[in-house]
A and B are shown apart, each in its own frame.
Chain A
């Protein structure tokens, strides 16, 4: 009983700090819409509860539920394509009455558990897995990616692929196969570009690329209005920011989606480089803490879950900050623990709960 409530402050402190800064930004972004802010506070509280429940649960239970969870996830992914709720041209949500549940958030968790479990079951040879060995995991991932892609949600689809890829690669892979995989990617990319990507997606990629090499305002005014306004918000924050609730880009609503995917630009505008570096350092600290914990764990499943969790946070931050600052195309990836949204908050609570669970248990056993 005693052991269950041990806590690892090296994880909890940065998480609480990020949550705090996130709520601060949201209170500014939602100044004209306070009811949403209160909803987010409820989500944070629920998240904290979920975190401690997961943290004190039996990790084996999670491993055992990996496959059923994956199956449930697949069903929901199909379901969302059929009866999902459309918001802004994309069908990503299931209407649960009290919330819109974004299924791909659940997929992120389920893929981490699924791959960690599968690879844990699969003994590794001295010179690593052949690709054939991880073929089922690859297929399982690709199925999810495909379904999410069709919502459409390119960002989440790629993100899930990257998590799976890094988890698989962090176990041992035969070098010859690895080289083959790289060549395969080099061939498949142009094919994907030509036959899979929608025009608007290509346009976004092209637009970003164009903007990075030139200052062509024509393109950025029309296609990239969002990114452009976001960059102005971030840049105009300068060293120390315009001050809490004094960000003109935010307060006058020049920033699009300013409480969800673009919350970082609200924060950056009001707190400047001082704020953004602090926030990034918090994320970096959290991610390295999680990765450091890998060396202390006793089993492969836990190690892979940690890798998956760290990767999940890393890729989210990377893509989100990348798109907000205009170096990556605009895809719907939230900033974890920061953006408005229940699905994301609960996912992070579960993921961090697992991390905390593993971390605490590895330390005290």
Chain B
């Protein structure tokens, strides 16, 4: 076989390199294509990605608007505090993540719970999340932050920022008016869509119902960060069109109709008794006080994570401090209700003011005996006396003339059994039974005179919230003009725009004013005439009030007997509720007050003093003003 010479060899190699050149050209073509694809076709998109690489945009949470009392006190406000976050990308790209967390935790003095949580959130963080600062600790006091920051310079990716802390200066005294804020829950994010998951949101009361106004507008600030999330000062020409900062805008202030001193008085007057008090300005329907006892301290709950111990203490207490009993709890109105059948009797011409019935203590109705609370009997009782001495027999005598339909219709004129529309969430409507309701709830039991008798003395199935009771007495004081209850006076936005909430007439009753005056005179007698159920407990050092006591059974005697006599706690919970409803002053009424003391046993001696303390406080303050 022939052997090639050097020339042929070189020629052969040269031929091959010709072919190799094509291959090389082809591979370069591929590289060009790839570069053109990346830089020309996808260039915009990668530009954006590189921008988002080094742009850390933080939402600035706006300071929350204040809630004020009508006498200018802060009921809820924000104070500056500090918080510490980390940029997760700095941690999660490292292998020694546990060690990193240990070090951070020891510097920040995290509890083992907080530490475990931090670890869990960090390891669940992928993608974009890794560039968004993650909150580690907040509510840090100024002094501590100074100490932390000297250590924290060693940790890239750790950010210290200022934040806000919600403070309720009146604490439990106004808790059921202000409510509290806490971290937004997953279900709430669906309602408040633009909120981020670290956001606080109003949970109850005004914090909740005025959430959108109180919250304010988010601001935004962007930083240039390097590959491990450190903020870098950067020459401006390098980052074109860098997003400009937007200032956060503080939320609107809510000025309530509440008078802080009345809340304080109510808080003090209740002591450790369970119950609620409502004060309404008669002419406007404005709520001057709304207090439920025992209350809770919203300062303890206004945290990202409510300590379990505190939460359990509140939620498991048999006295239900988290329940706003003024609007979320219903009671048998008892004798405070009697002004409705009294008015109905006058209105329908069933009685005249002079008409008397004889009260012998008890009366026989078929095969049952119906008794007055005063077994000794009130003897001859007219309308006036029936209210002053709270005679039940008088009303039993009306039962034959007041049918269930009449009863339901007449009571509904006072907006009973319906929501009042107060701007606090969670209100319950109470119960105003009608024929249909009774048939459903007591099937097979005919609506006899006996049933109606119970109904007329405010037992039966009638249930009212303390707010409804206060509204009822305000309507009487107003001679039949019902006002919608309002708890907000005006909303002031940060730019000075004021939205007034004006009083609103609910209904003007087409009932003779003289009938109201007749009953109101009798209500005056309750506290101011010997024999009146509140005579011994009334404060007559201030202009005289008109009011009505009530003592209502919570539970039937039969049911009470089933409870173990040794179980004092449960037995106490079955005691009668004490009520007192009033308006003040009797001449030219300004406010209506309703007080319910759960298991107070006696309206005159237990509920009335609280109401009088409130009225006294109102009077003294007004005289100063």
The chain A residues found within 8 Å of chain B, CB to CB, are 123-127, 166, 169-172, 217-218, 221, 225, 229, 231-239, 242, 246, 248-249, 251-254, 268-269, 272-273, 276-277, 280, 283-284, 287-288, 291, 294-295, 297-300, 303-304, 306-307, 310-311, 314, 317-318, 321-322, 325, 327
Contacts and interface: CB of A to CB of B under 8 A. Distances in A.
Interface stretch (B219-227, B243-251, B318-326, B554-562): B219-227
A322 B27 CA distance: 10
Contact of A276 (B10, B39, B225): B39
B365 interface: no
B1 A252 contact: no
A236 B47 contact: yes
B2 A239 contact: no
A295 B20 CA distance: 13
Contacts, number: 174
Interface residues of B, number: 52
Interface in B8-25: 9-14, 16-17, 20-21, 24-25
A287 to B, nearest CB: 6
B4 interface: yes
Given A252-B225, A280-B35, A294-B17, A218 B127 contact: yes
B35 A126 contact: no
Given A124-B3, A284-B28, A273 B35 contact: yes
A11 B31 CA distance: 22
A249 B53 contact: yes
Given A291-B21, A321-B31, A231 B237 contact: no
B14 A295 contact: yes
Contacts of B311: none
B4 A238 contact: no
B17 A124 contact: no
- Of listed B2, B13, B31, B126, residue having the most chain A CB within 10 A: B13
Closest 6 A/B residue pairs (Cβ):
A235-B46, A238-B43, A236-B50, A170-B16, A235-B38, A273-B39
Interface in B252-271: none
B146 interface: no
B54 interface: yes
A248 B6 contact: no
Contacts of B563: none
B239 interface: yes
Contact of B12 (A171, A273, A287, A291): A171
Interface string B27-62: 110111011101110111111011101100000000
Given A126-B2, A232-B53, A252-B232, A304 B13 contact: yes
B568 to A, nearest CB: 63
Contacts of A299: 6, 10
Given A231-B46, A235-B46, A172 B35 contact: no
Contact of A325 (B7, B9, B10, B38): B38
Nearest to B92: A222
A237 B16 CA distance: 38
Nearest to B41: A235
B146 to A, nearest CB: 30
A202 to B, nearest CB: 20
B238 interface: yes
A253 B226 CA distance: 7
B309 interface: no
A245 to B, nearest CB: 8
Nearest to A287: B24
A288 B39 CA distance: 26
B17 A238 contact: no
